[in-house]
Amino acid sequence: MSTEIKLVKVPEVVEAAMATFTPINNIQQHLSAFHTYAQDHTRHVESHHFCSHRSKDFHQCVIYDSDAPDARLIGIEYIVSEQIFKSLPEEEKRYWHSHKYEVESGILCLETKGFVPSVMNDTAEQPVMLHLHQTYGKTIHTWAFDEFPELPLGPPHLMMSFTGDNQTSDEAVRLRDERSKISSSAKKKLREGYLPPYQKDNKADQWEASGTGITFKSEETRIQK
């Protein structure tokens, strides 16, 4: 006698209720900013970071192109304190960028729910920006969605942050601000009142001095067995 096994489709809501999302549930921060390709600063993309803190000196973020339900998962960023950055091997420092300008310019923002008044957002943001002001990030995008919107094709890309005015599109910032109901220019002025003077480590953002960017290329190698 044979027994037929029938597969039952579990409703998604039930499946979600049974699943464990421990690492994801540890995400405690949503930041939005813009990244530029290390090898091509004419290309920049809006990037929404969802971050958890492994320690006060080390954060890890998953990055989406927006905060919409159907947002593309485009990459990751690791954020470290200046103390950790200074301890990195010299070769490693080439991959890291500073957050000084992003914070001071108002481009890097703490995202909150739409009903949260801007004054409350600014208050919640202050300790976050005081901390991020003197941190460094290593960012890899696995989906160049500005070139391949449907699928994550091609090699991963090292990404950098902006370090000065006129490096990003005013229109892109305006559209982000409009959607998020924030004002980057107002945040810039507000932050001038509480951010301390700070000189970033000159080993970050090495493209500024070298005029070169880093790319990742696939290379065939013999498999170790």
CB atoms within 10 A of CB 130: 14
The counts of H helices and E strands in the chain are 8, 8
Q: So what's the pLDDT on residue 113? A: 84
- Residues in the chain, pLDDT under 50: none
Q: So what's the pLDDT on residue 110? A: 96
Q: So what's the pLDDT on residue 9? A: 63
Helix (H) or strand (E) holding 83: helix 82-87
